Amino acid sequence: IGIDWGVRETATTTSDAHDLPHAEHGKTAAECLARYQRMMARRRTPKNRPDTAGYRKARKAAAKVSKKIARQRQDTGRKWAKNVVRDHDALAVEDFKPKFLAKTTMARKAADAAISATKTALVEMARKHGRTVHLVHPAHTTMDCAYCGARAKHALPLSERTYTCTACGAVSPRDKNSARVMLVRAGLNPASADLVSPSPC
Ligand SMILES: [Zn+2]
């Protein structure tokens, strides 16, 4: 199976049954977290002064919510990883590195955190069950054609959801093309990838 990470779908794979939509946990929890962070900001004391009880209370509440979000991400990641590992014996995974840039949006940060948690869960699960994991360097994976290997001259804008190859004319959803590129780069055969099931032993 080939796996590409993204914002809309946490994981897009070469198998339609194994795509993982972006979980919205977060959404209400994130608002909750933001509220506690604002409370902390209002209750902050000047330097070298002890924290007020209100500040400590808000900080405790914020920590509790962050923990909850992290646990939910891990849980979703593990459940998904279990299915992927059960149904495939070789995995080609985009070697995603979170950026956490200051200028990224909240949505991007949430997506990055979800991807990190899911990738960790997947690699752990695969190792536990003796699956082969190929980590694929992410450079140009959205620009290459999974069918003929041609590289597009320009990166697709994020709004463009369809990959159209100028060399061979292949048209496929952008993330599906990337997932397939993972397979090709890992040296796995894309044609048989969806059909392999791990040996029963
Ligand atoms: Zn092509």
pLDDT at residue 101, rounded to an integer? 59
CA of 169 to the centre of ligand 1 (A): 6
What is the 159 CA–ligand 1 centroid distance (Å)?
20
User: How far away, in angstroms, is 175 Cα from ligand 1 center?
Assistant: 15
pLDDT at residue 31 greater than cutoff 70? yes
How does the average pLDDT of the chain come out, rounded?
88
Distance in Å, CA 8 to ligand 1 centroid:
24
Q: What does the pLDDT average to over 20-29?
A: 80
pLDDT tens-place string over residues 94-108: 999 877 655 667 777
Question: What would the DSSP string read from start to end of 131-190?
Answer: -EEEEEP-TTTTTB-TTT--B-SSPPPTT--EEE-TTT--EEEHHHHHHHHHHHHTT--H
**Alpha-carbon distance 104 to 195, whole Å?**
38
Mean of pLDDT values over 119-125:
96
Whether the CB-CB separation of 24 and 111 falls below 8 Å is answered with: no
- Cα–ligand 1 centroid distance for 24 (angstroms): 34
User: Is residue 193 scored above 60 in pLDDT?
Assistant: no
Residues whose CB falls within 8 Å of the CB of residue 190, separated by 6 or more in sequence, listed in order: 2, 14, 146, 180, 183, 184
pLDDT at 200: 46
- The domain segmentation of the chain, as residue ranges, is 2-138
Residue 83 has pLDDT above 80, yes or no: yes
171 pLDDT above the threshold of 80: yes
Name the band, by pLDDT with cuts 50, 70 and 90, for residue 62.
Answer: very high
Q: What protein residues have CB closer than 5 angstroms to ion ligand 1?
A: 145, 147-148, 150, 165, 167-168, 170
Q: How many angstroms separate the alpha carbon of residue 151 from the centre of ligand 1?
A: 8
Residue 154's pLDDT is 85
Mean pLDDT of 135-146: 92
Q: Give the pLDDT of residue 103.
A: 65
Tell me the residue type at 43: R
Q: What is the pLDDT of residue 199?
A: 46
Q: Is residue 194 scored above 80 in pLDDT?
A: no
Indicate if the pLDDT at residue 152 is higher than 50. yes
Query: Model confidence at 155, in pLDDT bands (50, 70, 90)?
Result: confident
